[in-house]
Structures are given as C-alpha cells and as structure tokens.
Amino acid sequence: VIVTFPLTIFMCVKIVKEYERAVIFRLGRITDRKAKGPGLFLILPCTDNFVKVDLRTVSFDIPPQEILTKDSVTVSVDGVVYFRVYCPISAVANVTNAHSSTRLLAQTTLRNVLGTKNLAELLSDREGISLSMQEALDEATHPWGIKVERVEIKDVKLPHQLQRAMAAEAEASREARAKIIAAEGEMNASRALKEASLVMADSPSALQLRYLQTLNTIAAEKNSTIVFPLPIDIIQQFMHWKA
C-alpha cells in the first residue's frame, strides 16, 4: 500500500449508503463485532474483503399452500411477510442466505400454524393467525439477525363444492330467520286484530264508521264495482218480513 500510494488509496476506501452496512473479513475473520457504515471506511487490499447488508424492510409473497385444517378441510392459503435485518453480522455469519432461508421458513410456518386451526377459525380469526405466525417466525429468525415486522394472510381459497355447501347453508339460515320474522309479524297482527274486535264489540257505532272508512278507501281507487258488506242481522230481518 505504501509503495503504490496513491494508486492503492482507491482500493482502500469504500463507501456504503445510509441504509447499508459492511461486514469486514480480515484473513477470514470478522475484524470488529460491529458493522461499518454508513459513509467511508478503509480496508486493506488482498487481506480484507467485505459483504454489504441491506437494512431496509423487505417484503415477499408466500406462495399458495395447500393446507389440511384441523377439521380435515383442504384450503389454499397465501400471505405476505415483511422483515428486515437488524444485525448484519449475524445475517452474514450465522446463515448462508438470510432472505432465502426466511422465505422457506415462512412457508413451513404457515403450514404448521394453519394445520392447528379449523375452518371457522381460519375464516374469522385472520388477525390472530397472523400474529401467531409473526411470533413464530420472529423467534426462529432471531439467531439470523432477522426481525419479522408483519405477517398478513392474503387469501383463503375454498374448494368449489365447499363454497356451494356453505352458500346453501347460509341461504337456509336466512330463510329460517325470514320465516321466524314473518311468524312474529302474524302473531303481532293477530293480537292487534283481537284488540280491535274487542273495541268494536263494546261500541257498535265503531263498526259502522269502519264500513264508511272502507267505502271511502275503495272510492278513492276509482273502482267501477263496490261490494258493500251488510250485517247478517239486517238480512235476517228482511227475510223475516218477506215471510
């Protein structure tokens, strides 16, 4: 370095960006327990080499996985994982490829976690499942210098036959609720009619007023034929006079 100075200065000075760190190996050993950067740092040619590590958050999609749930239902589930490197030295020294290893571990963790859930939990408790996966991944990748920030379940695909069965079940449930509501309405209407009949029985003039109201309603609709109900007592009196 001294003999070829200043030409070797360009080989000794290296630069890493704000979101990067450099792990330096000198004769095969890590020179410092702390990564270099950001900015300028010096290395010795021929004896030193370094590995750049990106500290930014990385996201990747978990490919759709065919999973057998706890209640023996086959579903296809995919997701997304967000992680970052928090310890560059561990990410370089403890694992061959931290990113690839995290991707493979995420697929296995998805299968293991969802295999302990039934279909109802899978459809209704996605947030809890995502949290369980995040905790399991974070614990497993901690020795690699990886911090799993977030895990999300993207889509749950059910077999077509199961979709039709669930749709038929939901439709039957809606029809049952509709029949119950209609029956309750009929019961309330019958109670109201009973109360109205008791009121009319106490006041005979109320029945005549109801007749007039009915005629008024029919006449407003411009009908050509009007059927007017008559009490049976009046008809019986006419028949008696005729006889």
pLDDT digits (tens, 9 = 90+) for 74-112: 888 999 999 999 999 999 999 999 999 999 999 999 988
Residues 14 and 38 in one domain: yes
CA 102 from centroid of its chain's CA atoms: 23
pLDDT digits (tens, 9 = 90+) for 1-36: 567 667 777 778 888 999 999 999 988 888 888 888
Domain termination site, one of 17, 34, 54:
54
> Would residue 138 count as lying in a domain?
yes
Backbone Cα Rg of the chain: 41
Domain termination site, one of 140, 162, 184:
162
Which residue shows structure tokens 């911090």?
A: 147
Residues 38 and 92 in one domain: no
> Would residue 134 count as lying in a domain?
yes
Domain termination site, one of 116, 146, 162:
162
Q: What is the mean pLDDT of the chain?
A: 83
pLDDT at 225: 66
Q: Which segments of 4-124 are extended strands (E)?
A: 13-16, 20-26, 29-30, 39-42, 48-54, 58-68, 74-85
pLDDT digits (tens, 9 = 90+) for 167-187: 777 788 888 888 899 889 889
> Would residue 197 count as lying in a domain?
no
Residue numbers of the domain that contains 107: 57-162
Residues 100 and 150 in one domain: yes
Residues 98 and 8 in one domain: no
Positive or negative torsion for Cα 89, 95, 101, 105:
negative
